[in-house]
Amino acid sequence: MFNLSGKVAVVTGGGSGIGQAISTLFGRQGAQVVVLDRDVETARATAAAIVSSGGRADVAVCDVSDAADVKSTFDTIVGQTRRLDILINNAGVAHVGNIERTAEDDFDRLYRVNVKGVYLCSQAAVPVMVQQGGGVILNMASIVSFIGVADRFAYSMTKGAVLTMTKSVAIDYVKQRVRCNCICPARIHTPFVDGFVKKNYPGREDAVLQELSDYQPMGRMGTPDEVAHLALYLCSDEASFVTGQAYPLDGGVLNQ
């Protein structure tokens, strides 16, 4: 089950955190993984780990918010692989602040990466998938796609857009056998979270990490591997009847 042999998977933001976990697991399950990231070093390290474990992986350096860069990168990928079976729209950025503490530059930065990036990469992938007879797009949304979270105004805006883009792509291309779903995690403990807490809450790191853990009724944050295993199911043939859905991975948050 969950065999991805013969499939080409592009993972944006694949060099670290959730993207790294997805890239590594998909490589282990037989996919040819393209680790797409702005940071060439982390992308190379992730790809090297996949290859050293017997998998197949390539690196693509790309700014998902730049239309010309996305088009050129996907043209190169498809030119080399001749197909594109799975796209994971994982690349994203965060911001802390309510509407009064969200500058226009902050708003635009989050929109460019979290919304426009999903649009551009999906727009590049869909025609390839349609031509080859099908494919899977999996977007990384958030529980803030469903509920309000304090001081996450701009981030919530972008993840609401990801949810509705997911449903739109799913309904528009269901007859062409292109499935599109999204995962909606609560807090996931990644190196990004550690760095974010260190930068924004100096001297309070342990207390803030505990607060982030306590937010989930299970009393902890999720792990990148837990997200990756759900991603594997949704991108596998075992989920061939699933499209247009948003899957919470939230430690019980939405049950409160």
Whether residues 199 and 95 share a domain: the answer is: no
Residue 255 lies in a domain: no
Q: Is the pLDDT at 141 greater than 90, yes or no?
A: yes
Q: Is residue 231 part of a domain?
A: yes
Within the chain, strands assigned E span 8-12, 32-37, 56-61, 86-89, 135-140, 178-185, 246-249
Residue 3 lies in a domain: no
Q: Are residues 176 and 211 in the same domain?
A: no
- At residue 88, the pLDDT reads 99
- Evaluate if residue 106 carries a pLDDT over 90: yes
Indicate whether 158 belongs to any domain.
yes
Angle at 90 between CA 89 and CA 91, to 5 degrees: 105
Q: Domain for residue 97, yes or no?
A: yes
pLDDT band at 199 (very low <50, low <70, confident <90, very high): confident
pLDDT in tens, 59-70: 999 999 999 999
- 135, 237: one domain: yes
In a domain, 62, yes or no: yes
10-31 pLDDT per residue, tens: 999 999 999 999 999 999 999 9
Catalytic residue among 111, 119, 155, 201: 155
**Closest residue by Cα to residue 57 from 40, 36, 39:** 36
Strand partners, 152: 97
Tell me, yes or no, if 247 is annotated catalytic.
Answer: no
- Strand 178-185 with 32-37, pairing: unpaired
Enter the tokens of residue 187.
């807090």
Q: Is the pLDDT of residue 256 over 90?
A: no
Residues spanned by the domain of 75? 8-186+224-249
CATH number of the domain enclosing 82: 3.40.50.720
Over range 219-225, report the average pLDDT: 98
Same domain, 90 and 63: yes
Average pLDDT over residues 114-122: 98
